[in-house]
Amino acid sequence: MKKVVIVGAGIAGLAAGIYARQSGFEVTIYEMHSIPGGNSTSWKRKGYFFEGAMYWLTGSGKDQPLYEEWCNLGALSDEVPVHNRDPFYTYMDGGENVCLYRDLDRLEKHFLSISPSDKKAIQVLCQDIRKFTKMSMPIMDLKGVKVKEQHKMPISMLFKMLPMLPRIPALSKMSAREYAEGFQHPGIREILKTVVGSDYNAMSLMFTLATLAAGDGGYPEGGSLSMAHRMAKHYEDLGGEIEYNKRVQKVLVKKGRAVGVEISDEEILADAVVVTIDTLSAIDHLFDQPLHEPWMEKMRTNTKPVMNTFVCLGIEADLSDLPENMLFTFDPPFFYAGEQVNSLSVNNYATYKGYAPKGCTSATMGLMGDTYDYWKNAKTKGTYEQDKKQLAETIIERLAAKLPQIKDKVAVWDVATPLTYERYCGTYKGSWMTVVGKGDKPSIYPSTSEKIANLYFAGQRLQPPGGLPVAVVTGRTAIQYLCRDTNTVFQGSPPL
């Protein structure tokens, strides 16, 4: 049995570990943090539970190809309830609410009722969403690998995709912001800009809206951390080991082969190494010298990292009568870390059991923007904690003006900056995804090194824009490369 070392117990690392154990390898995962999950995480503060990553999960719908993989990995099962909030977003600005419903007939009727002048744009939007609902993320095998069960894209899926193909070039060449500006109603514009982020291309927006309309994109009970713990338990039940609080300092390379890792100056030897932490960070810092291969240089040049500052509030008020995701605009806007905030999406977990003390509410907000340098300078100057406090107080004040019921009711606040994600997860500039903007052609990077044998990569950075499904797919691909190189049958499910 060949020994495999995996760097990182995020979703990609856990997936790679499970696939490797199922295929018969001896596997140890080394994780710098004290818990699994990596960027897919949550935390508690004074009785409040803050969901720190997953708002919806692609592949949570039971008719989706990815659902079987999530179940195989222990992330989902028939015993794990999945919540499909509807409406998905609600724009609230003092007048009539604007709701982003999953049901397309209801969505079209609602949008037409509040903005008849947008009739043509609304009809085109709903037609596009219907076309894109025919697309789902396929699970496919690496060429040349021996597999227990073959996975390939069904011909029927290719035919279903045909109606959407003519729309892809146009949608790829405009941003979500530009697409949204085609609507006159301010609430519809704000919702469409917010769903994936205004800098992403409109095709990313359409894929996301189609995911929701197809009955996919639910929120598994317990959220990010519970899902990570389920996967970790499944991996350990298969005989895998996880060593927590063990930060890999270096991947050992001898005579052009990866032969193990170094942790606290101790060499741990292995037959193969799978690096699942942020690839951008790994290729610069995990080797004696930064790695320079054509695909790595392309990644360094083309990556537009997504960063956010995450604000969490513990509110001594029951907000269960309000939507689960509320979108507000601010006039005038407010500023933080050099960024202007015109709107804010608030995730309201009042209806989720265990997220807050009885009669109270846990709420979270993500403020997008490249603020890494600002926060790093604040850390250097000694104003980091004060700047976080000022941001929290500004948001509390602005939200209280929109929701008077929370005034003087915020008992707990917490702010996680890009430096927080960098510290706990080792990600490049604290980034957790990659922007695919207008005109961008997403690159799919290989899971292997061209110069170093027995070295494999997995993680969200390898297939922009990233996300949880990409973590799973790249973890699977990395182990398929390992199986191909070692003439091993890839199992993809518990061995017989």
Q: Which two tokens stand for residue 63?
A: 């008719």
- Could you tell me which of 59, 64, 86 has the C-alpha nearest to residue 75? 59
325 φ/ψ angles, rounded to the nearest 5 degrees: -140, 110
Beta bridge partners of residue 50, listed in sequence order: 43
pLDDT of residue 139: 83
Helix ranges, 450-491 (H): 468-485
For the chain, give every residue range classified as CATH 3.50.50.60: 3-42+221-304+435-485
State pTM to two decimals: 0.95
- Counting every residue written for the chain, the total comes to 496
pLDDT of residue 496: 36
Beta bridge partners of residue 242, listed in sequence order: 29
Give the span between the Cα atoms of 479 and 142, in whole angstroms. Answer: 10
The CATH number of 3-42+221-304+435-485 is 3.50.50.60
Instruction: Please give the full DSSP string across 22-43, using - where no structure is assigned.
Output: HTT-EEEEE-SSSSSBTTS-EE
- Could you tell me which of 459, 478, 41, 450 has the C-alpha nearest to residue 280? 459
Q: Which two tokens stand for residue 372?
A: 């890494």
pLDDT of residue 154: 64
**CA 409 vs CA 93, 339, 414: distances in Å:** 21, 27, 15
Q: In this structure, are residues 115 and 185 in contact, taking their beta carbons and an 8 Å threshold?
A: yes
pLDDT of residue 135: 76
- Could you tell me which of 450, 31, 39, 429 has the C-alpha nearest to residue 261? 31
pLDDT of residue 495: 44
Q: Any residues with CB less than 8 A from the CB of 40 and at least 6 apart, and which?
A: 10, 11, 53, 54, 224, 225, 227, 228, 468, 471
- Mean pLDDT in runs of 10 for the chain (496 residues)? 94 98 97 96 96 93 91 96 94 88 97 97 96 81 89 66 81 95 95 93 94 94 96 98 98 97 96 98 97 97 94 98 95 92 96 96 95 96 97 97 97 97 94 92 91 97 94 96 96 63
